[in-house]
A and B are shown apart, each in its own frame.
Chain A
Amino acid sequence: MNFEFSEEQAQMRTEARRFLEAKCPPKAVRAVLEGKAPFDRALWQGLAEMGFLGIAIPEEFGGLGAGYLELCVVAEELGRVIAPVPFSSSVFLATEFLLMAGSPAQKAAWLPKLAAGEAIGTFAFAEGTGTTTPRGIKTQASGGTLSGVKLPVADGDIADFAIVAARTGSGNDERAISLFIVDLNAAGVTRESVATIDPTRSHAKLTFNGAAAEPLGAAGEGWATIQAVYDRAAVLTAFEQVGGADRALEMARDYALERMAFGRPIGSFQAIKHMLADMYVSATLARSNSYYGAWALSTGAAELPEAAATARVSATQAFQHCAKNDIQVHGGMGFTWEFDCHLYYRRANLLALNLGSLSQWEDKLIDRLQTKNAA
């Protein structure tokens, strides 16, 4: 049994960390925060050159053809530095949708560009407030075009294309939903940037008005594909969250050692020590659960749905917990724009919703445990 990353994967982590420390300091995140650009283009290009955008893309399509464990390692490092780039949209979602449901021609058209960073992809799913359900999807596709409004769409303002979930049937069940590839630069697409709790990751409202749409996968298979891709993305996002949680814990620990009050470092007060110990506990549980997800993802195990929901719930809780207490440990300083604490707090709460809310994933987890128990 080996439940750790390999030497080579550890090596990749070191490379990724070194690269990101140089190319993605807090200053780079702040540039996007302050609205100087919707994302960090130089960093994105650098990630492409490192091969990180195509880790899981087969070599024949211009990727590295490495495994998901390698992608997990890089995801964690990106989470640590809260990288302001469309990695999750393009790599965890668009790429995975193409790999899972794309025709040979669609793969050949998009994957090499995604790997090279020449194209950014995203997934357009939600249509306003509330849990997204088959019944709630009003965007309608017919005759090779698509109309409707998607909000919010991560990176919708900067992506070149989107995988769009749209209605093709009349019913309210899962079979009514299909997937389409839409060129976001084409006619019939309007994009509007929207303000969110985390300005370091851009989001948009997409309005389709008879936009050209090419089917991705078979009609009526959309919902099932979304669930399968979301499980994969959940594991990868969990690593991003674990990276963020660890960093927030480190920041809090470092500050607690340095900040003096009542003649002693605040890290010598048990109230602070125990808060940090509890942060460590959540971060550790989340890491171990994410390893379980990584194992299931990389081996294609039948446990993936359960493992993904486990990793997702645990990592969401841990990042939210560590980020909020990071502010608490920093006292008044933690509530300033100048300190980085709020960047992690914002990201933790953004990632908690990006693939569907915590309560939705809790619900999925219990569903999956019920299925397992019944078997």
Chain B
Amino acid sequence: MNFDDTPQEAAFRATVRTWLDANAPKHLEAGLRSAGFGSAGVTSEDPMAAARAWQKKKYDAGYACLHWPKEYGGGGFSPIERVIWGQEEGPYAALGGLFTIGHGMCCPTLMAWASEDQKREMLPPAAAGEQVWCQLFSEPASGSDLAGLRTRAEPASDGSGDWIINGQKIWTSGAQHSDWGLLITRTDPNVAKHKGLTMFFLDMRSPGVEVRPIKQANGQSGFNEVYFTDVRIPDAQRLGAIGQGWEVSLTTLMNERLSIGSGMPTGFPELFDLACRLETPDGPAINDRNVRSKLATWAVRTSGLKYTGMRAISALSRGETPGPENSIGKLVAGATMQDIAAFALDLQGEAGILVDPEVTAANGRFQAMLLRSPATRIEGGSDEILRNIIAERVLGLPGDIRVDKTVPFNQIPTSGKR
């Protein structure tokens, strides 16, 4: 058992460190480190431009999407080298938020299902940060139950072989900045729900696509509604066979859990820091027995996630794929962060309600965390869905008894009211 690099890994780390030292946008470091939760952390310039510039610089040096093959714009590095890069890139990784969904979910789906020509055409600009992708999966009536989606794709009547899309997606993060979208549709409502789905990729500038930002509970607008009115997609942009959409989507969702689950922040180091600095009549808050006990519980959850991650990396380096046990990352981190935020406000007393970074302790980051953290427990698989996954796929318990799996989609009940 050791944390040591092999000689090759050490050499790679040294190379990366040298490159980062010479090339990282150091003027942004302080802002990125102290950013409020859910905010970009770049205030001195346009955050989108800063994100694109950093991505392009990495791409030109071969450090964008490290583990992708070189012919698709990646670095051709091993999974372990990718991990080392992540450790070294540190705060600058936060600049990549705009590309997370594309790099982490949409592009791996293309990698598995698109034609060779398409991969060579679509993936390098995504890696370079020139083109941004979004994930058009969730709908008003289908979130956890993704296979219940209703957006229709029908063959065009002109015999062109194109598809005509009508319907609505919702909660689409980054749609307002996206060039391309990965779109799952229903092509056959007369068969069982999982069987009638088909996947496409879509030019977000196609006529008939309308993006409407949604104002989130925390006041930001990261996600959107996307409406499709007679949107035309060439058949060449279909991924997988007609009716194979569910299978294709599993590639995306698997990657979603892998990329989201690793290295999720819990807010513990920030809370620890606050408890050390915050003065009470009895000295710093951290001297209080009750505070210490809570901190200890969150400390071991945070380190437990870190070392579970280390075990997954060890599995990677042995050539194994980390399994569904990685579902615990977001489950633990989301709930912990929400608890930590509420407790950090409690420590601040009545003034804990204030949000102005100038007057609150810790730049208002815990207030921002409080208001953003509910989303973590929902996006990318809700807590309950993740518990189902652990129970069924890791522990081998029976699936839920279902009433919707075998009947044709258009005969499934749609109203919860009696």
Chain A residues with CB under 8 Å of chain B are 1-6, 69, 253, 256-257, 264-265, 267-268, 270, 272-274, 276-278, 280-281, 284-286, 288-289, 291-292, 294-295, 298-299, 310, 313-314, 317, 359, 361-363, 365-366, 369-370, 373
Contact = CB atoms under 8 A, between A and B. Distances in A.
A107 to B, nearest CB: 27
Contact of B311 (A257, A280, A288, A363): A288
Contacts of A5: 1
Given A256-B397, A274-B384, A274-B391, A1 B301 contact: no
B142 interface: no
Interface stretch (B59-67, B145-153, B324-332, B406-414): B324-332
Nearest to B6: A1
21 contacts: A1-B2, A1-B3, A2-B314, A4-B315, A6-B1, A264-B401, A268-B398, A273-B388, A273-B392, A274-B384, A276-B391, A281-B331, A285-B301, A285-B328, A292-B303, A295-B1, A314-B304, A362-B295, A365-B299, A366-B292, A370-B276
A299 B1 CA distance: 9
Given A1-B313, A267-B398, A285 B304 contact: yes
B77 interface: no
Contacts of B331: 281
Contacts of A298: 1
Contacts of A288: 303-308, 310-311
Contacts of B332: 281, 285
Given A4-B314, A277-B391, 9 more contacts: A2-B2, A2-B317, A270-B384, A270-B387, A277-B386, A313-B296, A317-B297, A363-B292, A373-B272
A366 B296 contact: yes
Contacts of B9: 1
A151 to B, nearest CB: 25
B390 interface: yes
B387 A274 contact: yes
B390 A281 contact: yes
Interface in B360-397: 384, 386-388, 390-392, 394-397
A362 B80 CA distance: 34
Contacts of A264: 398, 401
Contact of A285 (B273, B286, B305, B394): B305
Contact of B307 (A292, A363, A370): A292
A359 B272 contact: no
Nearest to A282: B304
A291 B313 contact: no
B4 A1 contact: yes
B360 to A, nearest CB: 22
A362 B292 contact: yes
B397 A273 contact: yes
B400 interface: yes
Interface in B279-319: 286, 289, 292-293, 295-297, 299-301, 303-308, 310-311, 313-315, 317-318
B307 A313 contact: no
B5 interface: yes
A362 B388 contact: no
Contacts of A285: 300-301, 304-305, 308, 328, 332
A280 B394 contact: yes
Interface range, B side: 35 or more
A273 B391 contact: yes
Contact of B297 (A265, A299, A362, A363): A362
Given A1-B2, A291-B307, A370-B286, A365 B387 contact: no
B2 A369 contact: no
A318 B286 CA distance: 25
Closest 7 CB pairs of A and B: A285-B304, A362-B296, A273-B391, A288-B307, A277-B387, A277-B390, A314-B300
Contact of B314 (A1, A274, A362): A1
A273 B387 contact: yes
Nearest to A285: B304
A87 to B, nearest CB: 22
B304 A3 contact: no
Given A265-B398, A277-B390, A295-B1, A310 B276 contact: no
B307 A289 contact: yes
Interface in B42-61: none
A365 B300 contact: yes
Contacts of A253: 395-397
A369 B304 contact: no
A310 B418 CA distance: 52
Contacts of B286: 366, 370
B292 A4 contact: no
Given A280-B395, A317-B297, A3 B3 contact: yes
A276 B1 contact: no
A263 to B, nearest CB: 10
Contacts of A265: 398
A179 to B, nearest CB: 28
Nearest to B272: A369
A2 B387 CA distance: 29
A268 B317 contact: no
A369 B401 contact: no
B384 to A, nearest CB: 7
A61 B5 CA distance: 35
A239 to B, nearest CB: 13
Interface string B170-199: 000000000000000000000000000000
Nearest to A298: B1
A3 B306 CA distance: 12
Interface in B334-353: none
B328 A270 contact: no
A142 to B, nearest CB: 36
A351 B415 CA distance: 52
Contacts of A274: 384, 387-388, 391
Nearest to A292: B307
B308 A284 contact: yes
A365 B296 contact: yes
A256 B325 CA distance: 20
A182 to B, nearest CB: 35
A369 B269 CA distance: 10
Contact of A284 (B272, B325, B388, B401): B325
Nearest to A297: B1
A246 B365 CA distance: 38
Interface string B190-227: 00000000000000000000000000000000000000
Contacts of A365: 296, 299-300
A330 to B, nearest CB: 15
Nearest to A265: B398
B314 to A, nearest CB: 5
A268 B401 contact: yes
Contacts of A281: 328, 331-332, 390
Contacts of B399: 268
A65 B337 CA distance: 44
A6 B2 CA distance: 11
Nearest to B2: A2
A184 B322 CA distance: 52
